[in-house]
Chains A and B, each alone.
Chain A
Amino acid sequence: MRRLALLAVIILIIALTGCGRKEAANAPRGAKNYVIGMSQCNLGEPWRVQMNADVKAAADKHPEIKMLFKDAQNNTTTQQSQVQEFVDQKVDLIIISPKEALPLTKPVSDAMDAGIPVIVLDRKVEGDKYTCFIGGDNVKIGEEAGKYMVKLLGGKGNIVELKGLMTSTPAAERHDGFMKGIKGSQIKIVYAADCHWLEPDARREMASALTRFPGAKDIDAVYAHNDPSAHGAYTAAKLEGKGREKTIKFIGIDSLPHEGVQYVKDGIITATFQYPTGGAEAIDTALKILKGEKIEKNITLGTRIFTKDNAAKGGEAL
């Protein structure tokens, strides 16, 4: 009886969290109309919400495009079946921002075999069986942040690094790039912690860093792998009550309009570096592919810096 109950629970969990959603496979197909399916790995992340918004905004400018959005809710299996569903639906093109490279390589290559072009956004799949990859360059962003830090502190100082989830590639690359950027300077990382991209974690770790280095000039700046972490570090400094949030410089990455860019405008953080979503570029490229024009297979997006001086003007390309 108990075993039966356990089984029931497991089935329920799968049913509740899993891949029970099916959509009607009757997308209208006119002569010049294109149906583009987009599978987003996780709409729980604001940056990915922004990516979908960018895709939608770009697609809305072209009445011939009909977008179908799917959210895999951070589940690889769900995303695999979503790609398959798009193939079954016979969409004209698939845009995928994969959760993981390896498990989504086969679904993408199956779609290609079915004659559907695939644009891979942000994270790669294995091999080269895709039509086009569009993504930012985290190493370059980290390096630019490092160089900016050197300039900001006059080549010397103690800093705290609040990392993203270090087992994820972006965090590792943002760290490596930064180290390259500050190489040769006298900038020392006195405290570093894995904050898993989460603001509450960054707040807690920063509080510990402040306790360990309690002097007014012990910490000169914070390099955070994302803007919420930079914001969390600022909050921790402010709640410490010694006014150090005014002397410490905070630098973040991502530059979402209502996060990083807003924090810069509000004077909370000194600078933020944009990690582009590639949403607009994906639609441009999709149209080229659908019209049979030639495209580049790998498109690397540049970054922009936002500071108090240029935030209102939309930042500055680097």
Chain B
Amino acid sequence: MAKHRFSNILDLAGRYRGVLAFVLVFILGAVFTPRIPGTNVTTFLTWDTQRTTLLYYAEYGILAAGMTLVILAAGIDLSVGAVLGFSATLFSLLLIGYGWSPIPAVLVTILAAALMGAISGFVIARFRMQPFVATLGMMLVARGAAKWLCGGLKVQPGAQPWYAMQSGKPHIFDSMTNHIGTIGIQPVVLLFFVTIAVLWIVVKYTRFGRHIYAIGGNEEATRLSGVNVAWVKIGAYALCAMTAGLAGLCNASLNGYGDPEAGFTYELDAIAAVVIGGTSLMGGKGGMFFTFLGAMIIAYINKILSLNNFEEPQKLVIRGALIIVAVLIQQTLEKVEKRRTK
């Protein structure tokens, strides 16, 4: 009887291992951060900390959400950081350089980003190029395009004599980062939640989502069962690049300008978030909720280290060690779960 109950607990732990790792990191933060002067509460537990963590890591979370689609289909997209930089630059250029109004600027930026992803997807699906190589190429193309657009200078009012806006700041940058009413949450954070929610529905409840899982599980079998694998892949990469475009909007809004260097190495953080969440790099296993947890775990780890004001070398070592431990917990529990369900 006791043994039975124990295995039930293991079962639960196995199924909700992402949640478990998340809770562990949360407890770590709640205990090991400096206390607010004069109280017994740690700074980690303040609303301020939670709010700034969400605000400053929303971009990574949005990127990771898109990356999940691609990884579920047993692919990888190394170009998202560069596409983010490209989108931030293009968006700022349309607003500041050409004086466009926000809505067309947003639409054009997102479409341009999606197009880049669709091209990667097309090359990968049609010519069976390895995703690693195809998206590495796209990474350079997008970064180059970003620098090309702005002539190597950050896009900000007055940076070029011909810019429509010579001083001030586009209104949308402020509205994206100022909190809405009394909720205290910024549109940037809301965008992160909405992206996760929408893509969660896509992977869980649509045929497209099921096909992504199927391709990740066994591409050849999926093809033979009549699924148009190429289109699903193109769709996955386009959606992934689209989230990079959204993250680019957030990045430009937070910076207050378009930085062609923005998003450098962000793809690694996005991949890390997906993997820490528990989605398998081999494809076919995992999901969007896991990625949300993974993104929050990384954000919390960084926030805890920053609140403690560790020196840079210690920070790097601890961050790396915590990431490895988080994945280790995941994998151990996954094995437990597998053994139980057999």
Which residues of A are at the interface with B, using a C-beta cutoff of 8 A?
A: 5, 8-9, 12-13, 16-17, 43-44, 46, 49, 166, 191-194, 199-200, 203-205, 207-212, 214-215, 231, 235-236, 239-241, 258-259, 262, 266
Interfacial chain A residues near B152, Cβ < 8 Å: 43, 46, 49
CB–CB A214/B55 < 8 A:
no
Contact (Cβ within 8 A) B307 A211: yes
Apart from the given pairs A17-B140, A258-B159, 7 other A-B contacts in the complex at a CB distance below 8 Å: A193-B306, A199-B259, A200-B251, A204-B302, A208-B52, A208-B306, A235-B256
* Partner of A13 from B43, B136, B159, B302 at Cβ < 8 Å: B136
Known interface pairs A43-B152, A46-B153, A240-B48; A208-B140 also in contact (CB < 8 Å)? no
B130 and A5 contacting across the interface, CB-CB below 8 Å: yes
Task: Assess whether B102 is interfacial by the CB under 8 Å rule.
Answer: no
B156 & A241 in contact (Cβ 8 Å cutoff): no
* Residues 149-170 of chain B, each 1 if its beta carbon lies under 8 Å from chain A, else 0: 0001110101100000001000
Are B303 and A212 within 8 A (Cβ)? Answer: no
Q: A9-B130, A235-B254 are in contact. Are A214 and B48 (CB under 8 A)?
A: yes
Taking CB atoms and an 8 Å cut-off, the chain B residues in 134-149 that contact chain A are 136-137, 140, 147
- Do the beta carbons of B136 and A208 come within 8 Å of each other? no
Given contact pairs A192-B309, A199-B255, A211 touches B48 in the complex (Cβ within 8 A): yes
Describe A's contact surface by its main secondary structure: helix
Q: Does B175 contact A (CB under 8 A)?
A: no
In order of increasing CB-CB distance, the 7 nearest A-B pairs are A194-B312, A207-B52, A208-B306, A258-B159, A204-B56, A49-B152, A211-B48
CA A55 – CA B152 in complex, angstroms? 16
B46 at the interface (CB under 8 A from A): yes
Do A258 and B154 touch (CB < 8 A)?
Answer: yes
CA gap between A17 and B133 in the complex, in Å: 12
B49-61 to A contact mask, C-beta < 8 Å, 1/0 = 1001001100000
Distance in Å: Cβ of A54 to nearest Cβ of chain B: 14
Instruction: Provide 22 A-B residue pairs closer than 8 Å at the C-beta atoms, listed in order of the A residue.
Output: A12-B136, A16-B137, A46-B154, A166-B312, A193-B306, A193-B309, A199-B259, A200-B251, A200-B254, A200-B255, A203-B56, A204-B56, A210-B48, A211-B46, A212-B34, A231-B256, A235-B254, A239-B178, A239-B186, A240-B52, A258-B154, A258-B156
A9 and B256 contact, CB distance less than 8 A:
no
Closest to B262 in A: A200
* Chain B contacts for A200, CB-based, 8 A: 56, 251, 254-255, 262
Query: A239–B55 contact, CB under 8 A?
Result: yes
Task: Collect the chain B residues with CB atoms within 8 Å of residue A266's CB.
Answer: 167
Q: Which residue of A lies closest to B307 (CB)?
A: A208
Contact B312 A208 (CB under 8 A): no
Nearest CB in chain B: distance from A58 CB, A:
18
The residues of A that contact B306 with a CB separation of less than 8 Å are 193, 204-205, 208
List chain B residues, Cβ under 8 A from A44.
Answer: 147, 260-261
> Does B36 have its Cβ within 8 Å of any Cβ on chain A?
yes
Residues in chain B near residue A210, CB distance under 8 A: 48
Q: Does B98 contact A (CB under 8 A)?
A: no
Q: Map CB proximity to A onto B245-280 as digits: 1 under 8 Å, 0 otherwise.
A: 000000100111001111000000000000000000
Q: Which residue of A lies closest to B259 (CB)?
A: A199
Q: For B158, list chain A residues within 8 Å (CB).
A: 258, 262
Partner of B133, one of A9, A199, A211, A239: A9
